[in-house]
Amino acid sequence: MAKMQKSRPSLLVEPVYSSVITLLILVMACVQLCDAVTVVDVYRLVQYDFGGVPFGSRLAALNHHAGSSLFSSSGAAADLSRTVLILPVRELNLTFIRGSLISFLASNSFLTSALYSGTRTRAFYEFFTHSVIDVGSGSGNTAPLITFQRLMTYNEKRTKASLANLLCQEELQLLGCQYRKFGLHFRDRSGNADVSEGCFWSMLYTIGEYIGQRKPLGGLLLLLPPVSSPQHTDIGGGADHDSAKELVKEVLIEVERLLIHANIPYPVYFGFEDEHANAMLADIKKNDATGQPATATTGGYKLVVAAPEPRKIASPTIANIQGWLPGLKADGDSNQLPTVAVVASYDTFGAAPALSVGSDSNGSGVVALLEIARLFSILYSNPKTRGSYNLLFVLTSGGPYNYNGTHKWLHSLDQRLRETIDYAICLNSIGSSSNELWVHVSKPPENAYIKQIFEGFSSVSEELGLKVGLKHKKINISNPRVAWEHEQFSRLRVTAATLSELSVAPDFLEATGGLSDNRNFVDEASIRQSVKLVAESLARHIYGQQGKNTDIFADDSSLSLNPSYIRSWLEFLSTTPRMAPFLSKNDPLIMALKQELADHTVEVNIQQEVLDGMFTFYDSTSGRLHIYQVASVTFDLLLLLVLGSYLIMLFSFLVSITRGLDDLISLFRRPTSRKSLHGRLTEGELMTQSTAVVGYLCYPSLVMVV
């Protein structure tokens, strides 16, 4: 009986081993395949809500594959709502971003061709400054880029020609070589035209249009050129280099305007180009060009930003910093001394808060104010050279938000003190390389104080080789929009003017120190000239030297400008983001400005105010992007096959050396049926086997009875 009890488990265990092996293989297959399936389906449920609506731009997390174009041949295969689009800003076209005529072209389905005959055409519409289109060759491959030159003037003979013909008839340049004949086909955005038949507008359906229509994207990553980095040092490069910088600046301005004023339902990130990013982008472009977008089945690059959900900033604060240089009062004079205020707003605003350093707007104004305070502190430190005017230096916050900090500072100022202000000079964006500045005023130019201010600037500017103009703009009291900082003074009937390189007032949230405003676009020599202009004209007014050729702050004197001081502060501000809602009350920047004013003035204090609730800010300003090169599902299947083969071989080896080769072979034989087994057993064996089975089955019951 004992022998029969040992042989029975062998008959029952062999199918169990086979089932376990099968189960393990199935589990491994599910694990391997589930990764690919999750990439396609499951993690979509995490990224989107149950209604299929993408999360808003307040959410900063990314977990998507990378793509390089909205217009590649793989665009139909790729799901852009599941793709992070990577676009180098230097490749974005200024005209396409502006979309001045794209809407017309995109809304008309036409396929036309034109042949350029020989002479250069002059068209009526100034359009396409370096506008880039992709050209497909007859074989379907991608040919080099074509650049439209600027269309200049009106030609009566071409008035009846269509815009398409005008564009085609303009001389084209291909890789710098002029071609006199070129066949050009236009294709509508529906994609009905055959790409292999000619060339087409690959960027007709522009990124601006895509964003404006709120089309779904998994995310947008804009790669900024190195010249846009606050840490980048420009080494120069001639006229071509300067023109390239200006083109990049214009593109950045247009991109930022688009992002600020659009309601974007997905995260937008900015990064800087480097060798690693360019290598990754080249691979992505290559895959997109061959019609193989990054998916779970093809592999590619996957971008992951594990950023927490941004939180709303409750009651953002702004800080105004002021310091005094008291004048010298004559003996027996009981009247208060008149005051001249020098004001500059120090905070910035931009689409990317962590990159809004505002070197020109308004870092140049802050640097000029600090240098002027340093110069006059030397004069006022000696009673013999102290003027009969109080000097008030104010660094205000909230400049991009209708100069909210200036408004609150003026209303908190004692009325009697406010009435002693002779006039205020506001400094705004004075670091341009142009030799032209503008004095913006709200009072009529005939006003005595306005004439005095302008004549003082004009006389000094002639000596410095600068050109200073006067711009008068009335204030609309009913309109809450404040274009210039001096308008906040004018609303309280305080004479004020703004000195700026800008000839017209910028639109709301423009020229506020965004992406296009960094150290590489500011001229240090221009700041020094502006400082000399303001300081000299102010000193001549204080000491009664108007109209006299007196150089109070002459070079190589104890009162000369300090270029190192200007440069150091300009470098510091050009690497420090200064968006007011993200600055704490004891932010190092605010403390540094306060300490610097305290070194040159007296009675320095900080006024903390709550920013008026015109915007809602969230606290996520930067994140770490992880880029993974993801293998395709084919690799997963191959890995599964290799691992499965390895496990089977290992199992077979272990069974053969422990139990013998016969037992290993028996695992793969078909089990003997119970009917044939009973046929082979003798009657005694069958009774013994039955007894053993009955005893085995009854054993638990006996235990329960006991």
Q: Which residues contact 519 (CB under 8 A, 6 or more apart)?
A: 230, 232, 233, 234, 357, 359, 570, 571, 574, 575
Note whether residue 36 is domain-resident: yes
Note whether residue 658 is domain-resident: yes
The chain-wide mean pLDDT, for the chain, equals 73
28 shares its domain with 75? no
pLDDT at 97 over 70: no
657 shares its domain with 626? no
Single out the residue of 409, 371, 326 nearest to residue 596, CA to CA.
Answer: 371
Note whether residue 62 is domain-resident: yes
Mean pLDDT across 363-382: 96
> Which of 205, 220, 242 is at the close of a domain?
205
pLDDT at 333 over 90: no
30 shares its domain with 167? no
Mean pLDDT across 105-118: 32
Tell me what pLDDT residue 142 has. 32
The phi and psi torsions of 40 (rounded to 5 degrees) equal: -80, -40
DSSP state of 355: G
CA 609/CA 614 separation, integer angstroms: 14
Tell me what pLDDT residue 485 has. 96
> Which of 184, 205, 226 is at the close of a domain?
205
Under the banding of pLDDT at 50, 70 and 90, the label for residue 294 is low
Mean pLDDT across 198-215: 54
Mean pLDDT across 377-390: 93
3-state SS, residue 224: strand
Tell me what pLDDT residue 295 has. 61
What are 535's two structure tokens? Answer: 């300081």
650 shares its domain with 510? no
367 shares its domain with 485? yes
Domain holding 124, by residue range, is 100-205
Model confidence pLDDT, tens digit, residues 668-705: 776 666 555 555 555 454 444 444 333 333 333 333 33
397 shares its domain with 450? yes
393 shares its domain with 469? yes
Handedness of CA 641, 643, 648, 652 (dihedral sign): positive
Model confidence pLDDT, tens digit, residues 618-666: 888 888 888 888 776 677 778 888 998 998 888 888 888 887 777 777 7
Under the banding of pLDDT at 50, 70 and 90, the label for residue 560 is very high
426 shares its domain with 469? yes
Upper half-sphere CA count for residue 509 (Cβ side, 13 Å): 15
Tell me what pLDDT residue 290 has. 73
115 shares its domain with 177? yes
Tell me what pLDDT residue 2 has. 41
Mean pLDDT across 511-525: 91
Verify cis geometry, omega within 30 degrees of 0, for the bond prior to 476. Answer: no
The residue type found at 515 is L
Under the banding of pLDDT at 50, 70 and 90, the label for residue 153 is very low
Under 8 Å between Cβ of 487 and 424: no
Under 8 Å between Cβ of 494 and 453: no
pLDDT at 137 over 60: no
What are 250's two structure tokens? Answer: 């214009």
> Which of 150, 183, 205 is at the close of a domain?
205
Note whether residue 50 is domain-resident: no
355 shares its domain with 459? yes
Mean pLDDT across 584-602: 95
Count of domains observed in the chain: 4
Note whether residue 244 is domain-resident: yes
Tell me what pLDDT residue 162 has. 39
Note whether residue 49 is domain-resident: no
288-326 burial: b if 16+ Cβ within 10 Å, else e: beeebbbbbebbbbbbebebeebeeeeebbbbbbbbbbb
Note whether residue 66 is domain-resident: yes
Which CA distances in Å does 480 have to 325, 350, 404, 445, 617? 33, 21, 11, 24, 21
Under 8 Å between Cβ of 59 and 310: yes
Note whether residue 51 is domain-resident: no
Q: How many CB atoms lie under 10 A from the CB of residue 690?
A: 11
Tell me what pLDDT residue 501 has. 95
646 shares its domain with 666? yes
Under 8 Å between Cβ of 84 and 218: yes
Beta strands in 473-620, from DSSP E residues, in sequence order: 496-500, 602-610
480 shares its domain with 566? yes
Tell me what pLDDT residue 497 has. 97
